[in-house]
Amino acid sequence: MNRVFSVGLPSSDAQLLYHWRLRLLNQLLWVLAVVGFVTLIGAGWSDYNALGEDAIPYLIAYTAACCVVLLIAVVHRIGFTARALTLLAILVALSTLILATDGLLGSGRVFWLGTVVLAAALFGVRGCIAMFVMSLLSFSIVGGLHIQGVLSVPPQQLETLNTAPDWIGAGVVYLCTVTLAAVPFMYLLQRLGALAQRTTQDAALAQENARLAEERAIELERQTARLQETEQMLRNLVATLETPTVEIADNIMLAPLVGQIDSRRADTLLRRLLTIASVRRTRLMIIDVAVVPAFDTLVAQSPIQTAQALELIGCQAAISGISPAMAQTITSLGLQMESITVARSPQEVLKR
């Protein structure tokens, strides 16, 4: 399908204007086809009664024009330019025929005015100018033929205006009428084109903003994933630093406790030492509490519970560095430590 784009507009805006013109052409063709056949039936019968057999050529021409309009309305495979030019050619022929047969008092000028405005709608400024020049040429040729007497107005016409001043005056009136009709219409088309361009730009800007927002969202997701990985690494590092383990002999691990012990750290201590003892098949785990700063019930229970849990998985446990304050707390709580080795230092545990 051929496409007609306006000069000076981006391709997207030109496509929008083209689709508008295509819809206008399709709807106009159907309207002209229906109205043309209805008018042909009514006016054709009237003209035949008035003119007799002289009206038959006109009726044939009108029928052929209506058939062509109906054909290009139905067959959409014909290009836009070909369909639009065919419609304009039919209107040019009808306008010239009416102007030649009815003279200045007929509706030929009105048909030409509509043809010029339609050319502006379908092809823009260039189409309007070209059709306007053709209408002036038609006026000049038909006017000259009327003035020379080659063409004459039918006797049914109430008045004949076939002198040169009459045709000049009619041309001036036609020029003013076309100007009053075409100029506002062309201004409207330009405003529509500007509106289409602005709409397309806004849509492109919105699409670009959506793309940037999507990219930023993806980048934020990546940063969030990296932060989560970093956070997990830090947690693992903190857990390792909170509960360090050192292999001091074959299958013998030392776990020195440093800093204050709370419920969270007690759970971490239990899970970590159990995991290490299971993975490394440790046969002896020495838990040193010599540098724990404060002693309360939780501090006293945590190493003992951890040592008892290690015993359950087959790993012997020893606690070293118990201070007098911690020993007093363990005694007051009545904790059972019969199966747990107790020593003053890790070295003493190794000697035993």
Query: What is the domain-level CATH number for residue 268?
Result: 3.30.750.24
Check residue 184 and give its pLDDT: 65
Assess whether 148 and 15 both reside in one domain.
yes
Give a yes or no: residue 290 inside a domain.
yes
Among residues 181, 208, 235, the one where a domain terminates is: 208
Residues 187 and 123 both lie in one domain: yes
pTM attached to this predicted model: 0.48
Residue 214 in domain = no
User: What integer pLDDT is reported at residue 336 of this predicted model?
Assistant: 75
Domain shared by 146 and 278, yes or no: no
- Find the helix or strand (DSSP H, E) in which 316 lies: strand 316-320
Is 62 a domain residue? yes
Same domain, 154 and 284: no
Distance CA 111, CA 32 (A): 13
Task: Examine the domain organization and report whether 122 and 30 are in the same domain.
Answer: yes
Specify whether 15 is located in the same domain as 155: yes
179 and 286 fall within a common domain: no
Determine, yes or no, domain membership for 129: yes
Regarding whether 196 and 249 lie in a shared domain, the answer is no
Please indicate, yes or no, if residue 227 is contained in any of the structural domains. no
Count the domains in the chain.
2
Confidence at residue 284, expressed as pLDDT on a 0 to 100 scale: 92
Rounded Cα gap, residues 261 and 200, in angstroms:
66
Q: Which amino acid appears at position 318 of this protein?
A: A
CA distance 314 to 284: 9
In-domain check, residue 55:
yes
Q: Is there a single domain that holds both residue 250 and residue 194?
A: no
- Averaged pLDDT, groups of 10, the chain, 352 residues long: 45 69 84 80 72 74 84 84 90 84 74 85 85 87 79 54 64 64 65 71 84 90 88 70 76 84 81 89 89 73 88 90 84 79 87 78
Query: In which residue are the tokens 């058939």 written?
Result: 67
pLDDT in the model for residue 159: 47
- For residue 64, give its domain range: 11-208
Structure-token pair, residue 159: 């008045």
Residue 328: what pLDDT? 84
Query: Does 275 lie in the same domain as 184?
Result: no
Quick one: 248 and 187 in the same domain? no
CA–CA–CA angle 256, 259, 263 (5° rounding): 100
Contact 44, 59 (CB under 8 A): yes
pLDDT at site 5: 41
**Location of structure tokens 């496509």:** 15
C-alpha to C-alpha distance for 58 and 45, rounded to whole angstroms: 12
Looking at the fold, whether 111 and 43 belong to one and the same domain comes out as yes
**277 occurs within a structural domain:** yes
Percent composition of the chain: helix, strand, coil (DSSP 3-state, to 5): 75, 10, 20
Provide the b/e sequence for 41-64 (b: ≥16 CB within 10 Å). eeebeebeeeeeeebeebbeebee
The C-alpha atoms of residue 347 and residue 334 are separated, in whole angstroms, by 27
Helix (H/G/I), strand (E/B), else coil: 151: coil
- Whether residue 232 is contained in a domain is answered as no
Alpha carbon 221 to chain centroid distance?
Answer: 22
According to the model, what pLDDT value does residue 238 have? Answer: 64
What length is written for the chain?
A: 352
